[in-house]
Amino acid sequence: MKIIRKKDIEIKNREDGRIVVYYPSFDIPDGTKQIGFITVDTPRGCKEDKHKHPVSTEIFYHLTPGKIKVNDKIHLIEAGDIVVLEPGDEHKQIADEEIKIIALRIPFSLDKEYVEDKENGNC
């Protein structure tokens, strides 16, 4: 698991008024045939069921601030931050407020496995 903080990345102001942020690049596993793009809107108060993806890496781009629990540690995420989840990372979103993310799943797979959790999800 890795968090890339937007505040730690150089922001480029272009002469035409655009603001460009170059995030670090990621290697894509050899043999990857599909990448899945997913948008997720998690309503306020929702606690997602803890789960993992045994095959897929997930990359979340946060459009809004949020909270995510990964491998039993809670992380506060700001808008513009990226969360990289490696295969097997146990995770769930905790929405004290609405959370909006764009996710990439590499390779694309429906490999979600639920993990026992003393704090069951409610959405």
CATH number at residue 72: 2.60.120.10
**Are the C-beta atoms of residues 94 and 74 closer than 8 Å to each other?**
yes
pLDDT at residue 63 greater than cutoff 90? yes
Total domains, the chain:
1
- pLDDT, one tens digit per residue, over 66-91 is 999 999 999 999 999 999 999 999 99
pLDDT at residue 119 greater than cutoff 90? no
Distance of CA 52 to the CA centre of its chain: 12
Note whether residue 50 is domain-resident. yes
Q: Checking DSSP bridges between strand 19-21 and strand 91-94, what pairing results, if any?
A: unpaired
Note whether residue 12 is domain-resident. yes
Note whether residue 120 is domain-resident. no
pLDDT band at 48 (very low <50, low <70, confident <90, very high): confident
pLDDT band at 28 (very low <50, low <70, confident <90, very high): confident
Q: Give the type of residue at 88.
A: G
pLDDT at residue 123 greater than cutoff 80? no
**Are the C-beta atoms of residues 6 and 81 closer than 8 Å to each other?**
yes
Note whether residue 31 is domain-resident. yes
The mean pLDDT value for 31-40 works out to: 91
Note whether residue 36 is domain-resident. yes
Higher pLDDT, 27 or 57: 57
**Are the C-beta atoms of residues 34 and 89 closer than 8 Å to each other?**
no
Name the phi and psi angles at 29, rounded to 5: -55, 140
pLDDT at residue 120 greater than cutoff 70? no
What's the token pair of residue 53? 């993806």
Residue 42 structural domain: 2-114
The mean pLDDT value for 103-117 works out to: 90
CA angle in degrees (0–180, nearest 5) for 43-47-51: 120
